[in-house]
Amino acid sequence: MADDKSSFDSVAEGPRPSSEVTVSPVKVDSPARAHPSVTALTDQFGEAILRHEVVATDQHIVFIPPDRNLEILSWLRDDLDQQYDLLRDVTAVDYGGGRPLQVVYQLFSLFHKQALRVKCELPLDALEIESVCGLWMAANWLEREVYDLFGITFKNHPDLRRILMPPDYAEGHPLRKDFPLRGRFSRAEQTRRALSQDLKHYYFDDEIELGGESQALPPMDGPQALPSGENEAEAEVETGVEASE
């Protein structure tokens, strides 16, 4: 009776895949399942390839040290046996709990029809990595988005500023796990900021310079007079965040 499992047991045990395929991340030792680029990377860079994982049956992830990302990625783009000429995506993952943030590069080679995922782990106290804009222009906005939503600084990025959130957004970086779903400020403070007529809410600095003083909006009275933070504690939080920005 012990191994005669009913479907009720499976509910108690939690999910298992319906098919025979293993789905949990597995360390790959057998060369049969290895990715040709991963083998080549290990031959070329040796110790710099920190880890190799296979997820979802056939998706390969390579972990590299963040200070060598430019070197390894440009090799992946230019080497004739790799030719990862399409940068599909740059994003980041925050697992929360003080674990390091992961910067994820999704690469694809049109010639070899191969996909590879490269990850760099950044400790929370050093959120800096070299920009790959020089290799793929596609990284321009994607890195800006990661900077905006995760607060990771991309060194030598041509135009690193917020993209989805307003330029003067002072509540932090929304996709981090320590960011509350409704934001850090009170509703009243958020409304006050949204209705404020400060020119800097609407234009970036270089645009204000380009437009000249004559384009400044006239001051508006009325909605702007909404109360700021609801209590003193919130006001403290606000100033604290602004200082850290």
**What is the binding site for other proteins (CB under 8 A)?**
6-8, 10-11, 14-19, 21-25, 55-57, 59, 85-89, 91, 93-96, 104, 106, 108, 110, 113, 115, 117, 136-142, 145, 149, 163-166, 174-175, 179, 181, 203-204, 207, 210-211, 215
Task: Give min distance, CB of 177 to other proteins, in A.
Answer: 8
Please identify, using beta-carbon distances, which residue of 171 and 189 lies nearer to other proteins. 171
Please identify, using beta-carbon distances, which residue of 64 and 139 lies nearer to other proteins. 139
Task: Give min distance, CB of 43 to other proteins, in A.
Answer: 25
Which residues have CB under 8 Å from 106's CB, separation 6+? 87, 88, 89, 90, 91, 115, 117
Please identify, using beta-carbon distances, which residue of 18 and 231 lies nearer to other proteins. 18
CA angle 47, 44, 28 (to 5 degrees): 60
The token pair at 167 is: 């330029």
The token pair at 216 is: 């400044």
Task: Give min distance, CB of 151 to other proteins, in A.
Answer: 14
Please identify, using beta-carbon distances, which residue of 99 and 228 lies nearer to other proteins. 99
Which residues have CB under 8 Å from 239's CB, separation 6+? none
Helix (H) or strand (E) holding 60: strand 59-64
Contact 33, 89 (CB under 8 A): no
What pairs with residue 52 in β-bridges? 62
**């200070």: which residue's tokens?**
67
- CA 53 to the chain's CA centroid: 20
Please identify, using beta-carbon distances, which residue of 236 and 245 lies nearer to other proteins. 245
The token pair at 241 is: 């965040």
Task: Give min distance, CB of 227 to other proteins, in A.
Answer: 25
Task: Give min distance, CB of 6 to other proteins, in A.
Answer: 7
Please identify, using beta-carbon distances, which residue of 163 and 235 lies nearer to other proteins. 163
What size, in residues, is the chain? 245
What pairs with residue 92 in β-bridges? 103
Task: Give min distance, CB of 210 to other proteins, in A.
Answer: 5
